[in-house]
Chains A and B, each alone.
Chain A
């Protein structure tokens, strides 16, 4: 069964460093997302991406964050200058068709630890 994959599974970085989190969505999906979950808290929406542009972003997704689909398979989240509060699980998701009739499929997540 097709699945969303994410790498790395765990990333440790120092405050102020740039990180890139990578995702490979399901191959025929057209809509892509990033969510994050701080330990013990809710899953929070960050950004949605369709047709090579951001469709929607949350207040969390400020100028320090960017997303890119550099080729036909990868979808990346970049944090330019990490802060301690960016420590969280980051989940990538993809969807075949438009909401609300289609479901999202999530990856296993990347645990980002900022020290």
Chain B
């Protein structure tokens, strides 16, 4: 399975944008980039996914580098509820999600 690298932790202030990076230099042409998050004491939650083009949804934006070796999850205005562990996961034909250690995001009021 293709590997991703994320910072262990990041901090943000409330209502500021947050850019969560993910490196995936060994990504293959068929790998989709998925982002999930896990709020404290909850199950993982889908955030966004993409293949080549940048993607937007109501939760976040996903910016994918032109060479696809990295991507950035963008939370446009962080709230206290966005404090969670964020996971960047590559998926191709496999059906399962392989979670790493993710990035723990702290949001300060």
Contacting residues of chain A (73-99) with chain B, CB-CB under 8 angstroms: 89, 91, 93, 98-99
Q: Is the CB of A101 within 8 A of B32?
A: yes
Residues of the B chain whose Cβ atoms lie less than 8 Å from the Cβ of A104: 44, 46, 97
The one of B43, B49, B94, B96 in contact with A103, judged by C-beta atoms closer than 8 angstroms, is B49
Digitize A1-26: 1 where CB-to-B-CB distance is under 8 Å, 0 elsewhere: 00010000000000000000000000
- The tally of residues in A whose CB lies under 8 Å from a CB in B reads 27
Q: Given the complex of chains A and B, what is the CA–CA distance between A33 and B97 in angstroms?
A: 10
The one of A45, A91, A101, A109 in contact with B96, judged by C-beta atoms closer than 8 angstroms, is A45
Q: Is the CB of A44 within 8 A of B91?
A: no
Q: Is the CB of B93 within 8 A of A43?
A: no
The one of A35, A42, A99, A106 in contact with B45, judged by C-beta atoms closer than 8 angstroms, is A106
Q: Given the complex of chains A and B, what is the CA–CA distance between A44 and B49 in angstroms?
A: 20
Q: What is the interface of chain B, defined by CB distance below 8 A to chain A?
A: 30-32, 34, 38, 42-46, 49, 91-101
